């Protein structure tokens, strides 16, 4: 968000800035979703709702998990919130004691360590390697877990690496976690529907033996339905945890926006064909970006299997240009070529940058041209 703000400032000063730093799709929110919101306003659905979501939204969430995942939920196991981010905050706020440890594989979504620290707990970073597809190694996880481990935050498809989690790998992680009865799993599935491979969709962990009673599955419509501004997330987990989350939400946000809830009911009920089109467009963009990046000397980039980011290693360029680090790379790129990317160190992975390919083909082509010129 800081990078994007700097890009906005440059734009306001008249520069032609290309912003590939944001975590949102460039597609429009689907028309049926917008219409449902307008209809909700007209019908007077403009008042407080139940803290954890309207009965209609909870029914739509239940139906999604039954229809798409053969996973049955009761209303006490579901909470809808003001964005997935707030659900993560509320869950950690409700459960963490000072000194508790939260294991976060890196690269991680920027907000995780900050939220953990806000709750008085300690983020424990578990580094992953590009060479291992950015997947957390079960043996390293085992060595990192202690009696103080309260949560393990897992996010697949991953922001920023785009990694997806194969079933066997998830099972190996679950086996390690099972030996620590106090540890809970937060499975952040927010990019669940943006996958380009045959990796299993969420809720992966909740469906595993012994994991349901200690897994919080986080999801929402921000990424799947191009609805970042509507602020509507939801999650499923064991009833006592969800009751605690409800108490945090009840004293802070009350309910998520009534109109956004009506819109989310429409979103979750939509035929998934629009997603097929989006995925096709995103895959083409991904391939263009990965191909171009790998042709630049000093950059190497894996092809992500989910989400809409690439996370190339740019160390070669940093060295060749005599830059201090990835942050200096991004600052110089923004100053010289007016192209906004996010430094990998924001995600706990110095030497990398994150580029969002959720932008029009013409924008991506122009951006790749500027990047090539900058790296030359």
Binding site residues, ligand PMP, CB under 6 A: 23, 83-85, 109, 155, 159, 188, 190, 220, 222, 228, 233
Tokens coding 231: 């602020």
CB of 18 to ligand PMP, least distance (A): 20
CB of 187 to ligand PMP, least distance (A): 11
Of 8 and 373, the one with the shorter C-beta distance to ligand PMP is: 8
CB of 106 to ligand PMP, least distance (A): 13
Q: Which parts of the chain fold into alpha helices (H)?
A: 2-12, 31-42, 55-69, 84-95, 111-118, 138-144, 167-178, 239-250, 258-269, 273-295, 315-320, 326-337, 361-375
Of 100 and 188, the one with the shorter C-beta distance to ligand PMP is: 188
CB of 91 to ligand PMP, least distance (A): 12
Tell me which long-range contacts 44-51 makes (C-beta under 8 A, separation of at least 24): 45/258, 45/259, 45/262, 46/258, 46/259, 47/258, 48/254, 48/255, 48/258, 49/255, 49/256, 49/258, 49/261, 50/255, 51/246, 51/249, 51/250, 51/254, 51/255
CB of 87 to ligand PMP, least distance (A): 8
Of 159 and 292, the one with the shorter C-beta distance to ligand PMP is: 159
Of 234 and 329, the one with the shorter C-beta distance to ligand PMP is: 234
Contact (Cβ atoms closer than 8 angstroms) between residue 213 and residue 238: yes
Strand partners, 106: 127
**Distance of CA 55 to CAs 155, 245, 262, Å?**
28, 18, 11
What is the phi/psi pair of residue 189, to 5°?
-100, 25
Cis, peptide link before residue 371, omega less than 30° from 0 = no
Of 235 and 337, the one with the shorter C-beta distance to ligand PMP is: 235
CB of 160 to ligand PMP, least distance (A): 8
Of 228 and 253, the one with the shorter C-beta distance to ligand PMP is: 228
Of 123 and 220, the one with the shorter C-beta distance to ligand PMP is: 220
Of 177 and 186, the one with the shorter C-beta distance to ligand PMP is: 186
CB of 109 to ligand PMP, least distance (A): 4
How many Å separate Cα 351 from the centre of its chain? 21
160: left (phi over 0), alpha (psi -120 to 50) or beta: alpha
Contact (Cβ atoms closer than 8 angstroms) between residue 206 and residue 69: no
CB of 155 to ligand PMP, least distance (A): 5
- Four-residue CA torsion sign, 165, 191, 128, 91: negative
Of 109 and 196, the one with the shorter C-beta distance to ligand PMP is: 109
CB of 58 to ligand PMP, least distance (A): 17
Contact (Cβ atoms closer than 8 angstroms) between residue 355 and residue 289: yes
């Amino acid at each position: 968000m800081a990078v994007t703000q700097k890009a906005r400032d440059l734009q306001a000063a008249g520069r032609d800035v290309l912003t590939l730093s944001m975590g949102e799709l460039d597609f429009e929110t689907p028309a049926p979703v917008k219409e449902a919101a307008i209809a909700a306003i007209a019908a007077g659905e403009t008042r407080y709702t139940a803290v954890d979501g309207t009965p209609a939204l909870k029914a739509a969430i239940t139906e999604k998990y039954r229809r798409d995942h053969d996973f049955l939920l009761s209303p006490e196991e579901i909470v809808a919130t003001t964005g997935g981010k707030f659900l993560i905050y509320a869950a950690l706020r409700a459960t963490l004691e000072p000194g508790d440890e939260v294991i976060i594989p890196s690269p991680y979504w920027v907000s995780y360590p900050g939220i953990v620290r806000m709750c008085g707990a300690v983020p424990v970073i578990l580094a992953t390697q590009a060479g291992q597809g950015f997947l957390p190694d079960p043996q390293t996880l085992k060595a990192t877990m202690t009696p103080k481990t309260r949560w393990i935050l897992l996010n697949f498809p991953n922001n920023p690496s785009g990694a997806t989690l194969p079933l066997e790998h998830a099972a190996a992680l679950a086996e390690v976690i099972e030996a620590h009865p106090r540890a809970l799993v937060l499975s952040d599935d927010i990019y669940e529907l943006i996958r380009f491979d045959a990796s299993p969709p969420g809720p992966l962990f909740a469906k595993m033996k012994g994991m349901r009673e200690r897994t919080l599955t986080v999801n929402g419509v921000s990424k799947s339905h191009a609805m970042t501004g509507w602020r509507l997330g939801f999650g499923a987990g064991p009833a006592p945890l969800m009751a605690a989350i409800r108490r945090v939400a009840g004293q802070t946000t009350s309910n998520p926006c009534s109109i956004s809830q009506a819109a989310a009911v429409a979103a979750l009920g939509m035929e998934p064909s629009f997603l097929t089109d989006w995925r096709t467009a995103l895959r083409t963009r991904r391939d263009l970006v990965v191909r171009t990046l790998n042709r630049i000397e000093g950059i190497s980039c894996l092809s992500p299997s989910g989400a809409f980011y690439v996370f190339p290693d740019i160390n070669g360029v940093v060295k060749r240009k005599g830059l201090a680090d990835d942050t200096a790379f991004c600052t110089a790129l923004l100053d010289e070529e007016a192209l906004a990317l996010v430094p990998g160190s924001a995600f706990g992975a110095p030497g990398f940058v994150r580029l969002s390919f959720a932008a029009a083909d013409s924008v991506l082509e122009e951006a790749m041209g500027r990047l090539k010129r900058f790296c030359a």
